[in-house]
Structure 1
Amino acid sequence: MTAREVNFDGLPGLTHHYAGLSFGNEASTRHRHRVSNPQLAAKQGLKKMKALADAGYPQAVIPPQERPNVPLLRQLGFSGSDEQVVARAAQQDPDLLSAVSSASAMWVANAATVCPSADSLDGLVHLTVANLQDKFHRASEAPTTEALLQAIFPDRTRFAIHPALPASAWFGDEGAANHNRLGGEYGAPGVQLFVYGRRRGSEEAPRRYPARQTLEASQGGGAPQSGQSSPTDLRSPASGGDRHGGVP
């Protein structure tokens, strides 16, 4: 089987700012209210992508999602023109406006869980969109992410795009950030690892920060396509803080 690995990076959007929205992500909390520079952030991201491309790695760029998320503000009761909706949100609830303006979709490790064709039951590449239901500022990303993946991978003879799992605490899913794969040669079957922090009905719980990934999400979103009867049991203590590089 001919296989290729492509690296996907997200591009920071124009509303990139440090709002400290991700409790449990120590970098997010530590950098709260610092002055941001969206243009510089985008240039830094592109520079990193070019470095990988120059080193011979196939590199793809994921565009930012439209922010502020005006349709979401309308859903929450704000009315008027787009400009009026944003202005009223800024006046009435600036924290809400900050959340719906987050450029956190740049962190594409949380976009979806990917099962390569070498591991899947039907020989397709499966991508399951993450619901990111634990954080309000990220939970609205899933529909756009799904549409984007459908556009990038339109060939249904090779790719299957699955919508996000139900947005419920039972199925908290953070995508590839809690998933890894051990393998040898490209195109050869490997072993997928799904890391979770909590499961339904268990009294085990993180001591310091809430767990965002559940066992049920890993069972429902990734393991079935890979042919694994259940995720490899690698429970994360999730108590020492999220070390992810994202600072939404």
Structure 2
Amino acid sequence: MGKHLLTVESLSKRFHSGGRAVAAADALSFHIDAAETLALAGPSGSGKSTVARLLLRLIEPDAGSIAFEGDDWLALQGNALRARRARMQMVFQDPLAAFNPRATVARVLDDPLRIRRIAPRSERPARIAELLERVGLSPNLAGRTVHEVSGGQRQRVAIARAIATKPSLIVLDEAVSALDVSVRGKILELLADLQRTDGIAYLFISHDLGLVRAFAHRVAILDGGRLTEEGDARAVIDAPRSAVGKALVAATPRLHRLTGQDAS
């Protein structure tokens, strides 16, 4: 196999709280290949969202390196970083927090097309309709405000906005955890379809190992900012070696039916 799409090496980030340093990322190393889904799993406070923010350059690491599509990702600044950010997008748990709730769906999708100069103004309404159709929504939703559509529809709009810039990697930070089970399954099917058609890779951040087992190719389990185990998602979840991996499996009751493990 050639070079990885994303390579993270010895990534570290500490925060200071109550006079002491807390490691949110402690010498983390992992990679993601094109059209692959790597899940990052772990209990609350394990550092999952910190890793997402480091990858998106929303915060800067204390040490380590990130290579993305052959670039030294941490060396990019200013216009160069803004231009390359189109290739790495993020979908959050709550799109309402990421969007202006009074903005229309059309405005939400128009922004990346306009800011990235992906399409001239005359072509943008057709592009917006196409994006909505790609994520299983009616173009008629374009005129509605974000808070007028359902949670599942909002998450589809968030995915449409993420794919508008033709990214090679999307970071999904608990992107389906707030949705109803039936809606969640449909969103995961949509993401899998986009991966097949567009070759998009995902970093799938989740505390739910049932979702990870169903959706991810590989899983990396975090605890206290450290990687405790990594490998094929089903193999790791069916027979976790680390204490935190075993605890996560025990905390996901439906996994016992899948894996035949005793909950005791």
Which TM-score applies when normalising by structure 1? 0.28
Which has the larger helix fraction? 2
Which TM-score applies when normalising by structure 2? 0.27
Higher relative contact order (CA 8 A, sep 6+): 2
